[in-house]
Amino acid sequence: MCIVEVKSRYENIMYQAKESVTKKKQDKIKKTALIYLSEHEYDLQIRFDVAEVYFTKDRKVYINYIENAFETDGDDDFAKDF
């Protein structure tokens, strides 16, 4: 099962969208996923991804998709892409 956190920003912002997926936010996402899985009796592997969506002034959209952005156990630091 893949859980995707989508963050959007306008171009030329001082920080990347993925930076808003803090440790606190990761913990909240993990907790929500575990509750969902326990209520629906699934025995699935979970993957947490982040999709960064950037909008330009001329209405173009750029997407950066990061698989395995953070882990379910062990080291909770961002993956190497961060």
Residue 42 CA: distances (Å) to CA of 10, 26, 34, 60? 37, 21, 10, 39
pLDDT number for residue 74: 52
pTM of the shown model: 0.77
Residue 50: which domain range?
2-70
* HSE (side-chain half, CA atoms, 13 Å) at 50: 21
d(CA 48, CA 9): 20
- Residue 7, domain CATH: 3.40.1350.10
Whether 77 is covered by a domain: the verdict is: no
Answer whether residue 75 is part of any domain: no
Q: Which residues pair with 65 in a beta bridge?
A: 51
Q: How many domains does the chain have?
A: 1
- Interatomic CA distance for residues 9 and 57, integer angstroms: 11
pLDDT at 45: 84
- Give domain status of residue 81, yes or no: no
Per residue in 35-69, pLDDT (tens digit) is 888 898 777 788 999 999 999 999 999 999 999 99
Q: Within a domain: residue 78?
A: no
Would you say the C-alpha torsion 55, 81, 25, 49 has a positive or negative sign?
Answer: positive
In a domain, 62, yes or no: yes
pLDDT tens track for 20-31: 899 999 999 999
Question: Does residue 55 lie within any of the structural domains?
Answer: yes
